[in-house]
Amino acid sequence: DAKTTQPNSMESNEEEPVHLPCNHSTISGTDYIHWYRQLPSQGPEYVIHGLTSNVNNRMASLAIAEDRKSSTLILHRATLRDAAVYYCILRVGTSYGKLTFGQGTILTVHP
């Protein structure tokens, strides 16, 4: 499975934007970039996904580099409820939906 590299932890202040980076230099043409987050004591929660173009939804935006070797999850205004572990995952296009989670980035949001 193609691997992703994320910082172990990041910090932000409430109501400020947060940019969570992810490197995936071995990505192949059919790999989708997924982001999930896991709040304390809960199961992971889908955030956003994309293939080549930038994507926006009600939770976040996903910016994908032109060469697709990196991407950034953008939370436009962090709240205390956004404190979680954020996972950047490559879903292989032929893998029948399989998600391979890494260590993720622990996001701390300060009031």
Give the residue from 6, 25, 3 showing the smallest Cα distance to 92: 3
Give the interface with another protein as residue ranges (CB under 8 A): 32, 34, 36, 41-46, 49, 85, 87, 91, 96-104
Nearer to another protein, 63 or 101 (CB): 101
Nearer CB in complex with another protein: 14/23: 23
- Closest CB 105 distance from another protein, rounded Å: 11
Instruction: Find the shortest distance in angstroms from Cβ 45 to another protein.
Output: 7
Closest CA to 35 of 75, 79, 81, 67: 75
Q: Are 33 and 88 in contact (CB under 8 A)?
A: yes
Q: How far is the CB of 54 from another protein (least distance, A)?
A: 16
The answer to whether 35 and 89 have CB atoms below 8 angstroms apart is yes
